[in-house]
Structure formats: C-alpha cells, structure tokens
C-alpha cells in the first residue's frame, strides 16, 4: 500500500469510528455547522431551527468566553450577536445568528486587516 491509500483508509476509519468528527467548513477561523450553505459573502443558511443553532453555538462557543446580546427588536425576527473578544485581523470578530421568515441564517463579521 502506498501513502495516499493508507491516508484515505485511515481517514475513513476515523470518520466511521467517530461519527461526531466532521470536516466542517471554517470561515475566518470559525467552524460552521455541517448543514451551513453559503448564500453570499460571509452569509450562510442553516437547515435547522434557530433555537437548535443557538444550542450548537452555546456548546461550540461558551457564553462565558463569547458574550451574546440580542440585536433585533421587531416582531417576527429573532437575532443574537456573538462576540469574539480575541479577534485578530482576518479572523471572525462577531457572528449574527438570526431567523427571518422561517429561515435560520448566519452572518460572520470579519475583522479587517489594517
């Protein structure tokens, strides 16, 4: 067996042994949920309920380290901003999670490189 087939076999075995391990997409250093689909620059639609997505980010980004605040005050719109206090240029400095018209979406704010 050469190196490439061994690598592929080991990767397949790892993914079978640990189904929670994923090859999630990263944007500006932020790991996105597996079901996130790009719909624009730094914008993603997620095929799950708003509350489920917030639960996901509560685990991935603990509130004690990543502060949250509500950002919408309109009927029919749910939205929260998650701040990254350790943002570096080119990295994510904030994340808006919102639900509008039954669709759950993400918007990633990227810190500009000065």
> Which sign, positive or negative, has the C-alpha torsion 81, 65, 104, 31?
positive
> What tokens were used for 85?
């206090």
In what order do the strands lie in the sheet containing 43-46? 36-40, 43-46, 103-110, 92-100, 77-83, 68-70
Kindly list the domain boundaries of the chain, sorted by start residue. 24-110
pTM equals 0.76
**CATH, range 24-110:** 3.30.160
Do residues 91 and 28 make contact, with C-beta atoms less than 8 angstroms apart? yes
pLDDT tens for the chain, residues 1 to 114: 455 566 556 555 545 554 444 456 899 999 999 999 999 999 999 999 999 999 999 999 999 999 999 998 788 899 999 999 999 999 999 999 999 889 999 999 999 886
Burial of residue 99 (number of CB atoms within 10 Å: 0-12, 13-18, 19+): buried
């Amino acid at each position: 067996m050469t190196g490439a087939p061994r690598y592929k076999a080991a990767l397949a075995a790892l993914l079978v042994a640990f189904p929670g391990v994923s090859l999630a997409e990263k944007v500006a250093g932020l790991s996105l949920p597996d079901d996130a689909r790009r719909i624009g620059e730094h914008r993603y639609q997620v095929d799950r309920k708003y509350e489920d997505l917030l639960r996901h980010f509560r685990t991935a980004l603990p509130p004690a380290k990543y502060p949250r605040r509500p950002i919408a005050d309109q009927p029919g719109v749910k939205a929260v901003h998650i701040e990254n206090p350790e943002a570096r240029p080119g990295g994510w400095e904030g994340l808006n999670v919102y639900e509008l018209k039954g669709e759950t979406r993400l918007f990633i704010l990227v810190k500009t490189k000065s």
